Amino acid sequence: MALDRVRMQEASGMLFALWRERRRIVGLPAALRPADRAEGYGIQALLEGRSAAPLFGWKIAATSLAGQRHIGVDGPLAGRLLAEQVSQSGAMLPLGGTLMHVAEPEFAFRMARTLEPRGAEYTLDEVMAAVGGLHPAIEVPDSRFEDFVGAGVAQLLADSACADRFVLGPAAPESWRRIDLAAHVVRAEVAGRYHREGSGSNVLGDPRIALAWIANELGRIGVPLAAGQVVTTGTCMPPLEIEAGDAVSVDFGVIGSIAVRFSA
C-alpha cells in the first residue's frame, strides 16, 4: 500500500531525530518504509521543513561504479544538504556516534540561476551556464541505518542518500571554467597516516556531468535546482578512512584547498 503524507511525515521525523541524536536503526518500520524511489524522495523532501534554515543544497551519492556496487544501487542518488549539516574549511567535526568514518573530497558547484523542472532535459551547456562558482569540498557521509549496504534504494533516498556532514571550501578563481575537470588531479592527506590521489574522472566521468545529472533528476521529481544552492558532486577518489583525531587536507591545485579535523 502506498504511503500517505501522514506516514511519510512520521518516517521523515524518525530519520531526522536519528540524525540529531546520532543513533541508527535496522530499517524503517514496515508501515513507514518507502516502496520505491518516488516514496523515498517524498520522505526526503519533508526533511526540509524540519530545518531552521532554507535548503543549503544537494549531494550526489554513488557517482562511481565502485560506490554503486558498495551500496547495491544501479545509479546515482540525490540527497538534500541541510544548513545544519554544513561547516567551513578548518572546522572540527565530531566522529562520535557515526558509522561510516570516511571523508570524501568533492567538487561542489554553487548555482547562480534556478533550473526549473521542464519537459526536456537540460543539456550540459545549459546547466553550466547556470553555475555561479566552484568550491573544493569534503563530504562526511553517514547513514541512519545499521546495514546501509543492504537498505535498498528507497530507504537510502529517504535517508537523504547518506547525507550527514559537509565542509565547504572557498570559491575557486574564475579561471576554473577553463580547466578540464575530468582530468584535474586532486591530492588528499590524512596527516601522519597516508596520502591518496584522485581526479574528476571518478565522478560520473566528469563533475559537470554529475551536476547535469542531478539537475535532470530533480526535474523528473518536480523539484527546481535553485539559485544559491550548492551541489556537491560525489567523491573524486576512494573515500578516505578516518579516525578520531585525524586531520584531513585536500589540495585541488589552482581550484584551492580545504581542511577538516575530527575530534573523538
| pLDDT single digits (tens) 113-131 | 999 999 999 999 999 999 9
Q: State the Cα–Cα distance between residues 49 and 56, nearest whole angstrom.
A: 13
Please tell me the predicted confidence (pLDDT) of residue 56. 98
Name the class of domain 5-263.
alpha beta
Residue 146 has pLDDT above 90, yes or no: yes
Q: State the Cα–Cα distance between residues 242 and 40, nearest whole angstrom.
A: 29
Q: For residue range 209-219, what is the model confidence (pLDDT) as tens digits?
A: 999 999 999 99
Residues 210-237: what's their mean pLDDT? 98
Please tell me the predicted confidence (pLDDT) of residue 125. 98
Residues 31-41: what's their mean pLDDT? 97
Of the pLDDT bands very low, low, confident and very high (cuts 50, 70, 90), residue 264 is confident
Q: State the Cα–Cα distance between residues 263 and 205, nearest whole angstrom.
A: 34
CA dihedral for 36, 85, 247, 108, sign (positive or negative): positive
Q: 158 near 11, Cβ under 8 Å?
A: yes
The C-alpha cell that represents 132 in the structure block:
555561479
Per the listing, cell 567523491 goes with 235
Residue of 138, 135, 105, 59 whose CA lies nearest to 236: 105
Residue 41 has pLDDT above 90, yes or no: yes
Residue of 80, 142, 119 whose CA lies nearest to 216: 119
Residues 47-71: what's their mean pLDDT? 91
Residues 33-42: what's their mean pLDDT? 98
**Cα-based distances in Å from 250 to 4, 79, 179, 198:** 44, 23, 18, 11
Residue 60 has pLDDT above 90, yes or no: yes
Residues 200-225: what's their mean pLDDT? 97
Residues 10-35: what's their mean pLDDT? 97
Q: 155 near 79, Cβ under 8 Å?
A: no
**Regarding predicted confidence, which is higher, 14 or 73?**
14
Mean pLDDT over the full length of the chain: 96
Residues 228-257: what's their mean pLDDT? 98
Q: 27 near 33, Cβ under 8 Å?
A: yes
Residues 37-51: what's their mean pLDDT? 97
* Span of 27-41, 52-66, 114-128, 235-249 with lowest mean pLDDT: 52-66
Please tell me the predicted confidence (pLDDT) of residue 74. 83
Q: For residue range 62-106, what is the model confidence (pLDDT) as tens digits?
A: 888 788 888 888 899 999 999 999 999 999 999 988 999 999 999
The reported pTM is 0.96
Residue 138 has pLDDT above 90, yes or no: yes
- For the chain, the structural domain boundaries read 5-263
